[in-house]
Amino acid sequence: MPSLFRHLFKPDTYSQSAEDKLAQAELRSHGEPPAHIAIIMDGNGRWAEERGFPRAAGHQAGIASVRDATRASRELGIKYLTLYAFSMENWKRPRREVKMLMHLLRKMLHEELPEMLENGVRLNTIGQTNALPKEVQHDLFDAIDKTADNKGLTLTLALSYSGRWDIVRASQLLALDVRRGKVSPEDITDEVLSSYLTTSELPDPDLLIRTSGEVRLSNFMLWELAYSEIYVTKTSWPDFRREHLYEAIREYQQRERRFGMTGAQVNSPRRKDTVPEVHSSYVKDIVRILTKGTI
């Protein structure tokens, strides 16, 4: 990679502009920003190939986008930002590309740690992290430990992650606790199953952003995205900057989140977020039938 190109993606000296502060104030004036934003960072390889660069250059350029999205989220007061950095399916990519991605991850952790510590960002991770190379695990959990007491933005990196894997894993752990007598089948609810997911310490995302124009979830947070607002931009991840984040948040602020209710119910001062409690009695009937053999 040419030295000039490398220079474009080195860590920068950052100071928020007065213009950007005004843009963020204008954004807040339209309502609260989402508490939790999740992003599927797509298009790195295609971005590089369109410019005649190797795919590695796209992944390298994407680090600047991570940095800017994280800074803007922190400044806006967003509590949680989750980035789909590396899926389980990504292990199928050419070995050289995977090795390069792991190298870039370590590089980013080293370069961004001082700023995370300075600005109160807490690093977190979800996924089958024991599949990562040992040196990556070491640097990742070292950064997590060093930022554990920070109280600002929680930045979660989904690494070797699969939504289906997480649901299956949670189901297996829950089944073990049922077999051990720690949990009764009739007591299993959405909340109970959620507590076994690797995302159990995170609220469900309010807004999902996907870059590069693809309209699919790609096995990302399948349980947690049930009622998330989805925003798709044709902008590739290396070109994604805070102005694109602001566009997504503006779109989010204009939507009416109904969670299965009508618009009239959502806007009613007498709104009740209650659901008829039929689940527990239904399961109890099934358990009674299976255990007693009676109908």
Active site residues: 42, 90
Q: CA–CA separation, 85 vs 39, rounded Å?
A: 9
What's the CA dihedral at 149, 162, 86, 110 to 10 degrees?
20
Which residues are CB-neighbours of 169 under 8 A, at least 6 positions away? 196, 197, 198
DSSP for 160-182, written as a single string: EE-HHHHHHHHHHHHHHHHHTTS
Two structure tokens written together for 52: 């005649």
Helices (H) and strands (E) in the chain, counts: 11, 6
Q: CA–CA separation, 265 vs 242, rounded Å?
A: 34
H helices of the chain, in order, are 3-8, 18-28, 44-50, 55-76, 95-118, 134-146, 163-179, 190-194, 242-254, 263-267, 279-292
- 247 burial via Cβ count (<10 Å: 0-12, 13-18, 19+): middle
- 85 burial via Cβ count (<10 Å: 0-12, 13-18, 19+): buried
CA 114 and chain centroid, separation: 22
CA end-to-end span of the chain: 72
The residues pairing with 132 across neighbouring beta strands, listed in sequence order, are none
